[in-house]
Structure 1
Amino acid sequence: MRYVAVSALSHPGLLRERNEDSLVIGPWTLCATVTESPQTLVFPLGTPLVVAVADGLGGHPGGDVASALAVRRIASVGPALSSDDAVRDALNACNRAVYEAAGGDTGGELAAMGTTVAGAVLRPDSLLVFNVGDSRVLAATRDGLHQVSVDDSPPLEPGRRTTSIVTQCLGGSASYRAIRPHVRAEPLSSGDRYLVCTDGLTDPVPPEVLDEVMREHDDGRVAFELWKAAIEAGGPDNITLAVVRVLDA
């Protein structure tokens, strides 16, 4: 039998007053809190298992509310996410829920709150990668670390590696806007490792450094070392990450 080990943490970084990121691993959620020491959970690989992060939009009120709402809703339907369509339906429902919680067309103090989301649904022989916004899913392979999610961001200006602008998210506008979630299937084998994270990790830490950290450290240490790299790079944003590993019994 195969198992899934997930090591995760969530931290506000060095410059933000609060943490507006949230995290879901199976039925377990972590919302707007601080965990400097990674938590590791192990699950049998059978019923669909969802691992995802959500990053509340900065500059909007209620980013923490939006990200928590998204991950809790995803956690509640996680075992039913067995197909591409099921994942898309869940994300569309999250988008509607965030918009309605913000006050819908009537507005309110949480008007235009929103969040990104990115994650993976692990099934016995494959996984479904999904995202809306610029939080990411990356696969660690023999050839290095490469992104398997799709950033919803405008083209980068020459000389720039990152941008804080997103072209779609859950909620995030005064009037309802439909989304087009990115969902793709990937084969899954024992030993495969994935990184699910918010841009508080990928913006300050260059891809080559992420790859080096993933190569040099085992599962029990890598989540901490990734967080440490983001802090040493200035920790400009909330940092939430989960390292997913598929294991034989």
Structure 2
Amino acid sequence: MPYVAVSALSHPGLVRDHNEDSLVVGPWTLCATATRTPQTFVFPLGDPLVVAVADGIGGQPAGEVASALVVRQLSALGPALGGEEAVREAVALCDRAVYAASDGDPELTAMGTTVAGAVVLDGSLISFNVGDSRVFDATGEELRLVSVDDNPPLPPGMRTSSVLTQAIGGGGGPGGILPHVSVQPAGPGARYLVCSDGLTDPVPEEEVGELLRAHDDGMAVFELWRAAIEAGGPDNITLALVRIGS
């Protein structure tokens, strides 16, 4: 029977004093805390399965509250995310929920988060993102970025930026986001990586690809996390590796 295996991990890294990332894998959520080791979940392929990472915006209040709100909304909506329009509306609903939660609460004003994820369907995968958390197609020999970073153009020689051109929440008012949504064919053997920039900022894309070619499932997630830690672990690290099996 076709199935979906998802291996996931969330960790504060070595510099931040707490974790503002949150994670959803189907009905399971991990909000602003940490896993000691990669967790692997197996689901039958068929009904929509949402896998997503939300990275609370640093330097603004309550990033962990915003990221947790988003993944809990996506978990509740996940079984209904059977098409592109449903995914777009779900992301818009997440944006409205973050603003509604911050309305009138000075401690939550301007809180925001990125989000990136995948909805696994029978025969296809819908990727989506707002912000600079990422989704990669790791099926072939070459790692392929399928999300779109919401960062301004980088100056020559710079590989990453902490500046966001859009996010969920963040103080600009609800309704202003344009989520990036695309559909890819995905059958047995397909693999996708969903991650926060705590992985991709310190670890070059070439190294991420090498580790994914050498390892699978929980071991791949562990080795990617270790690479980020060995590179200094400057930010929260959250990642989920999706594999479709037969």
TM-score normalized with structure 1 length: 0.97
In the TM superposition, 1:1-249 aligns within 5 A as 1-103=1-103, 106=104, 108-173=106-171, 175-248=173-246
**CA separation in 1, counterparts of 2:93 and 2:216?**
37
**CA separation in 2, counterparts of 1:178 and 1:75?**
23
Once the two structures are TM-superposed, the CA of residue 174 in structure 1 deviates from its matched residue by 5.5
Which consecutive unaligned segments of at least 5 residues does structure 1 have? none
SS of residue matched to 1:222: helix
The aligned amino acid for 1:183 is V
* Structure 1 residues 114-156: Cα deviation after superposition (integer angstroms, max 9, x where no partner): 0000000000000100000000000113331110001111000
- Tell whether the 8 Å contact from 1:154 to 1:166 is kept in structure 2 after alignment: yes
Which consecutive unaligned segments of at least 5 residues does structure 2 have? none
The aligned amino acid for 2:201 is D
**CA separation in 2, counterparts of 1:56 and 1:201?**
15
SS of residue matched to 2:138: strand
The aligned amino acid for 1:21 is D
- Tell whether the 8 Å contact from 1:171 to 1:177 is kept in structure 2 after alignment: no
SS of residue matched to 1:212: helix
**CA separation in 2, counterparts of 1:87 and 1:211?**
27
Once the two structures are TM-superposed, the CA of residue 35 in structure 1 deviates from its matched residue by 0.9
Specify whether residues 175 and 123 from structure 1 end up closer, same or farther in structure 2 by C-alpha distance, changes over 3 A only.
closer
**CA separation in 2, counterparts of 1:97 and 1:142?**
37
- Tell whether the 8 Å contact from 2:39 to 2:218 is kept in structure 1 after alignment: no
Specify whether residues 89 and 177 from structure 1 end up closer, same or farther in structure 2 by C-alpha distance, changes over 3 A only.
closer
Once the two structures are TM-superposed, the CA of residue 176 in structure 1 deviates from its matched residue by 3.6
**CA separation in 2, counterparts of 1:88 and 1:174?**
19
**CA separation in 2, counterparts of 1:156 and 1:235?**
22
TM-score normalized with structure 2 length: 0.98
TM-align CA RMSD = 1.0
**CA separation in 2, counterparts of 1:166 and 1:150?**
12
What stretches of structure 1 move > 2 A for 4+ residues in a row? 174-177
**CA separation in 2, counterparts of 1:174 and 1:85?**
23
